[in-house]
Amino acid sequence: MATPLIEVTNLHANAEGAAILKGLSLSINAGEVHALMGPNGAGKSTLASVLLANPAYEVTEGSIVLNGVDVTQWPTDQRAKAGMFLAFQHPESISGVSVTQFLRQAVAARRDTEVSVLEIRMELMEWMGTLGMDESFAGRHLNEGFSGGERKRNEILQMALLDPVFAVLDETDSGLDIDALQIVAEGVNAVRARRPELACLVVTHYQRLLKALEPDVVHLIIDGKVVESGGKELAAEIEASGYAKWQA
């Protein structure tokens, strides 16, 4: 049996003194896509934040293991250098900093070496072509004036350049129309095609994104715990019938 790339065991986490994650466990192998579904307030986005060490959350019990190494106490930058990545639900804009400048610094931190403007420009052009993005995008200020779809595509562009081993997509489909959703899904699939060992955890409310990304496993989180895991049929059942069956 393959050793999981990411293994979360009995994870408990608080925010402002309130318990949100209450013994959550899941594991993901290299190359797999797992989906995390659940009602509002169940802990989906909290898990995404805790996985990347958001200081607003306190882990009180349990562990996060990446490639056999316990990273539970590691800060965000150390996890990112090790290959963990989070695509935000609501990406922030940074005035005065271009997409190229931001990615040059981020890629240099990930690789722990200087990256020239020419090198990052060439990689950007290649990936923007793959993702169907206009070259002018590289010179725009990060997320400033971007549409919802552009912000989410920029997150996928970052994922492509940073070359993570494990990516968390936190409600990447929120606020997107059908066309924008398809473009983002195609972008994720394009990155996965080039990086087949990439493992992904996709946090979502809706089956429509999962139809495009085809998860290997679907997890249902209720009140801070994974209460059921299954295949795509679990996502279909949740969308058709809601969460009442598991909340009784």
Which one, of 13, 112, 135, lies nearest residue 62 by Cα? Answer: 13
Q: Pseudo-torsion of CA 83, 78, 49, 130, nearest 10°? A: -30
* Over residues 134-146, mean pLDDT: 85
Ordered domains of the chain (ranges, CATH): 6-247 (3.40.50.300)
Q: How far is CA 72 from CA 13, 16, 83, 121, 209, in A?
A: 11, 19, 14, 35, 29
Q: Does the pLDDT of residue 1 top 70, yes or no? A: no
Residue 74 pLDDT > 90? yes
pLDDT mean over 133-138:
85
- Kindly indicate the confidence band of residue 58, based on its pLDDT and cuts at 50, 70 and 90: very high
107-116: per-residue pLDDT in tens?
999 999 999 9
Q: Helix/strand/coil (H, E, C) string of 166-215?
A: EEEEECCCCCCCHHHHHHHHHHHHHHHHHCCCCEEEEECCCHHHHHHHCC
Q: What's the pLDDT tens digit per position in 146-183?
A: 877 788 888 889 999 999 999 999 887 676 677 777 87
Residue closest to 169 by CA, chosen among 122, 201, 121, 145: 201
Mapped to the 3 state alphabet, what secondary structure does 102-171 carry? HHHHHHHHHHCCCCCHHHHHHHHHHHHHHCCCCHHHHHCECCCCCCHHHHHHHHHHHHHHHCCCEEEEEC
pLDDT tens figures, 211-245: 888 899 999 999 999 999 999 999 989 988 999 99
d(CA 36, CA 44): 7
